[in-house]
Amino acid sequence: MKIPVGVVGAKGYAGRELIKILLSHPDVELVSLSDKIDTTEPIVQTFPQFRKITELIIEPTNVEKINRKVKVVFLALPHSVSQEYAPAFISAGKKVIDLSADFRFRDVTTYEKYYKIEHRAKKLNKEAVYGMPELFRDLIRKARLIASPGCYPTSVILGLAPIMGSGWIDVNTIIADSKSGVSGAGRTPSPTTHYYECNESIRPYSVASHRHTPEIEEKISELANQKITITFTPHLTPMDRGILSTIYVNLTCLHADKHRQSENVSEADIYKRYEKFYSEEPFVRLLPYGEMPATKSVLFSNFCDIGLKLDTRTNRLIIATAIDNLIKGASGQAVQAFNISMGIDEKTGLLHF
């Protein structure tokens, strides 16, 4: 029997991608689409792509009504709004997969500092699981509330995870330089997403202040078992989708470093570490050593491609990762967590691209 599923926040880009994936998911029945609207509207009004694919309509969000229909609900809502809805779904015994930032932080004070609001579901936040299958698969399996990771954090954390606990790096030297397509900024028109302002231009934004910074830091700190602070710089790039993160970290071993005592590891050791870490992962693809990923190779897919190259002259490891920000960086990863949580094959509905 198919699992009855709802999407709250159906009119944004993440919502659209979710619906797309869920519609072709063999174990899912999409029974409810809703958003902050006044009257019911057919989905094709917002997204004409769905014509002749589905007759689904989007309804004004009504928690009780949704609760009567679904077993699992995806929240594709802005931060601060998810925490309004999540408790009611959880109380009704539903499983919630939230794509906003609201439940991503173990440390709620960090959340409150960076998002500049008081968290109104602190108790629930305590049990939320960070929905990154590569790190928290077992927890996801049992969670009632899954906080699906941010797009940038996905690309950066997956690039760093294998090396974090190695003892081979200087954790104070991590820099992540990320380049994102414009869809990351959402569906609401603004001067910064106006065609003529974005096209034929690249620029950094939110330098040294982007909200995804503490999200990355919290997770990699856990992995390294020590508090880590990083520099993270996002850039807006003239393309629809895709994030490329180029990550830099100094090695504490090898040729260059004379000061710190540490085992002497080789490029091959590092590569093998990554290979082992991700060998069983269905959606992480480690490229041959020295080969670098292009976002084009992961577009519309749930894959994260990773390339590694050691700059032997500076003893710095360069890790480049590529994801589709709307799939692995949002809706695809959410469905992957959903699959795990439902006990079905993790790849279900996600191998198309």
Interface of this chain with a copy of itself, residues 195 to 224, rule: CB under 8 A: 195-205, 207-208
If you write DSSP's letter for every residue of 38-51 in order, what string do you get?
A: SS-EEHHHH-GGGT
264 is an interface residue for a copy of itself by CB under 8 A = no
Contact set for a copy of itself, span 55-94 (CB under 8 A): none
User: Nearer to a copy of itself by C-beta: 190 or 261?
Assistant: 190
173 is an interface residue for a copy of itself by CB under 8 A = yes
Closest CA to 274 of 315, 305, 235, 231: 305
Q: Is 304 a catalytic residue?
A: no
51 is an interface residue for a copy of itself by CB under 8 A = yes
| Count of residues in contact with a copy of itself, rule CB under 8 A | 80
275 is an interface residue for a copy of itself by CB under 8 A = no
Catalytic residue among 151, 198, 253, 304: 151
Contact set for a copy of itself, span 88-147 (CB under 8 A): none
Interface stretch with a copy of itself, choices 98-106, 121-129, 182-190, 336-344 (CB under 8 A):
182-190
> Which neighbouring-strand residues pair with 176?
232, 247
Is there a contact between 89 and 63 (Cβ–Cβ < 8 Å)?
A: yes
Cα distance between residue 287 and residue 84, in whole Å: 42
List 143, 182, 327, 342, residue binding a copy of itself (CB under 8 A): 182
User: Pseudo-torsion of CA 224, 227, 231, 235, nearest 10°?
Assistant: 70
Residue 155 structure tokens? 């690309």
Residue type, 114: Y
Contact set for a copy of itself, span 18-37 (CB under 8 A): 20, 24
User: Nearer to a copy of itself by C-beta: 4 or 204?
Assistant: 204
User: Nearer to a copy of itself by C-beta: 84 or 170?
Assistant: 170
List 78, 248, 269, 289, residue binding a copy of itself (CB under 8 A): 248
Residue 200 structure tokens? 């034929």
List 4, 31, 41, 53, residue binding a copy of itself (CB under 8 A): 53
Hey, is 272 helix, strand or coil? Answer: helix
187 is an interface residue for a copy of itself by CB under 8 A = yes
> Which neighbouring-strand residues pair with 177?
233, 246
Count of C-beta atoms within a 10 Å radius of residue 40: 11
Closest CA to 73 of 159, 151, 145, 181: 145
Cα distance between residue 122 and residue 219, in whole Å: 19
Cα distance between residue 272 and residue 286, in whole Å: 10
Contact set for a copy of itself, span 290-309 (CB under 8 A): 290, 292-301, 303, 305, 307, 309
Catalytic positions: 151
